[in-house]
Structure 1
Amino acid sequence: MDQPFIVALDFQSREEVEAFLRPFVREPLFVKVGMELYYQEGPDIITALKKQGHHIFLDLKLHDIPNTVKQAMKGLARLGIDLVNVHAAGGTSMMKAALEGLEAGTPSGATRPACIAVTQLTSTSEQMMQRELWISRTMAETVLHYALLAQESGLDGVVCSAKEVPLIREHCGASFLTVTPGIRFADEEANDQARVVTPKEARKFGSSFVVVGRSITRAADPHAAYERLKQEWNQEESS
């Protein structure tokens, strides 16, 4: 997982995925398979992507009783994915069980998939969190609390907004992964995201990985959009 860019394959069929990936045939990507695609195509889509050389973030956001999550993770670990996630709101017992399942299911000689916890979705605003979820703390306090719980549970990192990365870095250290959705180019609409940043801003905040979906998958020229992402990210290096 050398590259910091994760492309969200938010499609409903393998045919759509194959059409999107055609321009990248000589350029293996780090891709995200979420509920929309996985629930339609199942484990076969993971096998197909692995055969093409892509790294895979399986974004299923598990959140259930600890034993259920543990058993589910045992099965997912056998798929050879690179990254998987749970909801931090499931608590420390559930997060620890997720790791136990991954370790038990990882084939001998293989590397355990990294496991991260969702703090608050980037579509969630502070107002919505407080009014609808009845979480009275600020967004920053809540995200940091969940990040610390994830680290205490032995997880490898969290999903958060890039805006919260500096705070998490300060308290959890530089090696704790921060995977940040809600990435948009400066000339794009936020759509259903509430806490968005540009690729350059995400790099400045210190994101380990950025997850980019529609900015690339719905672009007229997806390959050109991916190159733009890399260029804007790398502007921070040269500036």
Structure 2
Amino acid sequence: MSSSPIFCAIDRPDPAGALTLARSLNGVVGGVKLGLEFFCASGPAGVRTVGEAGLPIFLDLKLHDIPNTVAGAVRSALALEPAMLTLHAAGGRAMLEAAVAAKREAGAATWLLAVTVLTSLDDGDLADTGISGDAGAQVERLARLAVAAGVDGLVCSPHEIARLRRNLPADVKLVVPGIRPAGPSGDDQKRVMTPQEALAAGADVLVVGRPITVAADPAAAAAALLGSGPSR
């Protein structure tokens, strides 16, 4: 199995196609991420199918509900033995603590990750939702809340990595989407960085989707990512 810090986001709904892609990446990436599109279409059975590729799975469900409901969802998701599982930090302290308690009761090794601010949002988008200040300040506010509640790590954009490393305990895991090769990306990610820049800033895991999945040779594209130059 590869020791690469890259997890490939498989943003497609079909288990067979997802499994084929995952198998092609075995030995090249560190794991694969399955999100809401896949889970809503294929459910737990689909996750188990992709697991046949032998790669760790990042189950990106971004759970956000009342504490009891999220705790139950965490218990159910842990039965799939994901390497990582997400919930929204904005769900509040009680919700986060309920999720952490459910994970501890299960004795799971899964990293429970709190999502701070989606990488598709910038300062203007946050202002539209009534949140004043810059995205970095909101990320740090939610990150502190989540870490105090006992999560294993955080999902943040690459532009907040250095700030969080300065202000949070060193053992907090940072899982970072918004990773792109050098040059224009032309997609909906607004706060991006190259793989080398993100790792140098202190990221533990890099989540990469389209630069790998739409390539003619996904495995070659994944292998080439860690040689990317500086961002624009």
| 1:119 aligned residue | 116
CA distance in 1, matches of 2:103, 2:170: 24
- The aligned amino acid for 1:151 is V
- Deviation for aligned residue 1:191: 0.5
- The answer to whether the aligner puts 1:230 opposite 2:201 as a matched pair is no
- Residues 76, 102 of structure 1: 8 Å contact kept: no
Q: Could you state the TM-score of these two structures normalised by the residue count of structure 2?
A: 0.92
CA deviations 1:119-144 (Å, max 9, x no partner) are 100000111101x1100122111110
Where does the alignment leave 5 or more consecutive residues of structure 2 unmatched?
Answer: none
Where does the alignment leave 5 or more consecutive residues of structure 1 unmatched?
Answer: none
| 1:100 aligned residue | 101
CA distance in 2, matches of 1:6, 1:103: 25
CA distance in 2, matches of 1:119, 1:190: 23
| 1:206 aligned residue | 202
| 1:170 aligned residue | 166
CA deviations 1:183-222 (Å, max 9, x no partner) are 1111342411111111122122211111000000011111
CA distance in 2, matches of 1:127, 1:137: 9
- The answer to whether the aligner puts 1:153 opposite 2:149 as a matched pair is yes
- Residues 122, 182 of structure 1: 8 Å contact kept: yes
| 1:139 aligned residue | 135
Q: Could you state the TM-score of these two structures normalised by the residue count of structure 1?
A: 0.89
CA distance in 2, matches of 1:26, 1:167: 32
SS at match of 2:227: helix
CA distance in 1, matches of 2:99, 2:186: 32
What is the Cα-based RMSD across aligned positions, in Å?
1.9
- The answer to whether the aligner puts 1:129 opposite 2:140 as a matched pair is no
- The aligned amino acid for 1:66 is P
- Residues 76, 105 of structure 1: 8 Å contact kept: no
Q: How many residues align?
A: 229
